[in-house]
Copies of this chain bind each other. A is one copy, B any other.
Amino acid sequence: MISQASIEIGLNAAIVSVRGGQPHILVSREADQWDALPYGPFTPIDHRTLDIGLRNWVREQTGLELGYVEQLYTFGDRGRHAQPDDTGSHIVSVGYLALITEDPLEPLEGTSFARWYGFLPWEDWRNGKPSILTEEIEPRLKRWAAQMDQDDSHASVLTRPERLRICFAMDEESNWDEEKVLERYELLYEAGLAAEAKRDGHSAVKLWDDLPQLGRPMQFDHRRVLATAMSRLRGKLKYRPVIFELLPVSFTLFELQKIVEAILGHHVHKQNFRRLVENAGLVEATGDVSTQTGGRPAKLFRFRRDVLLERPSIGVKMKGG
């Protein structure tokens, strides 16, 4: 009754850490190969749950002890591991997001931290609109949108220009939605603008002959997992106090703000940020001050664990500044 091909369950983790003001993810990098997210098989014999399995092989492979872990999505696409010599074995991969603080320990050999905006450079608006958008991406997307939807007969609800407006805030300025990371990556893939689309033999790549590298590509669909992680983290920030998983136990409000900005990819309004964080009861002063700030010494704060008991939904909501 059950036609059972050889199926393997893989666990992929986007392990995020902010170091030096830049968000990083842990990657395993082999010479001449695109980067890959840490990957481990799920062996039900050894591990009772997927989460436990993940923590275990991350510890073994990298020496890192994960704190916050959250399941993102399970991908089962045929062809996601398509190779020239695809033998018909299939991998269903479960993507995870994990957060760790800036750890002085370097991970084990074979793995390293890489800037996540290296993979998705159009997501970092902290220094204004990324030039890669205006110069490379938008002109090509416009060309792609002007094409008829010929071969994609799957009657999408939205037209291509509409999708551009929504995902990339074209036409209307300043309604860039920082949470649409995944939608943007998938649109770029569909338009043949991600190197992975070419690798996978996607038809849309025929449009482009002079294509520069738009963000560093990754193996398999790992860049999609990364985009999912970024979407989720940017969204979750606003209603759950997950940001503190990236911070040391004690920190200044400015440090907190910089971490939030690093994740969101844009600046926030300083004064309001501080007030909102304090009024929300998210933090409490430790009593100490830090003089290493380059200005007036700053009070040090710690995360108030009690907020977990108090408010059902809480986080750092904040528009640009």
Chain A positions near chain B (C-beta within 8 angstroms): 2-5, 7-9, 41-50, 53, 71, 73-79, 88, 90, 92, 94, 157-158, 162, 165-166, 175, 177, 179-180, 305, 308-309, 312
Q: For the complex, what is the distance from the CA of A9 to the CA of B42, rounded to whole Å?
A: 12
Tell me if B74 and A94 are in contact (CB < 8 A).
yes
Question: Considering only CB atoms, which chain B residue lies closest to A79 in the complex?
Answer: B48
- A248 to chain B minimum Cβ distance, whole angstroms, is 18
Residues of B within 8 A of A76 (CB): 9, 42, 44, 49-50, 53, 94
Complex contact B74–A74 (CB within 8 A) = yes
Q: Are B74 and A158 in contact (CB under 8 A)?
A: no
Can you give 9 contacting A-B residue pairs, CB < 8 Å? A4-B43, A7-B7, A9-B92, A44-B92, A48-B77, A49-B77, A50-B76, A175-B312, A177-B312
Instruction: Evaluate whether A78 and B48 lie within 8 angstroms (CB atoms) in the complex, with A177-B312, A312-B177 already known.
Output: yes
Contact flag A162-B309 (CB < 8 Å), given A8-B7, A48-B78, A71-B74:
yes
At the interface, is chain A mostly helix, strand, loop or mixed? loop
Report how many copies the assembly holds.
2
The answer, among B78, B166, B175, B309, for a CB contact under 8 Å with A166, is B309
A28 to chain B, nearest CB (A): 15
Query: Which of B3, B9, B41, B47 sits near A45, CB closer than 8 Å?
Result: B3
Known contacts: A44-B76, A49-B77. The answer to whether A309 contacts B165 by CB under 8 A is yes
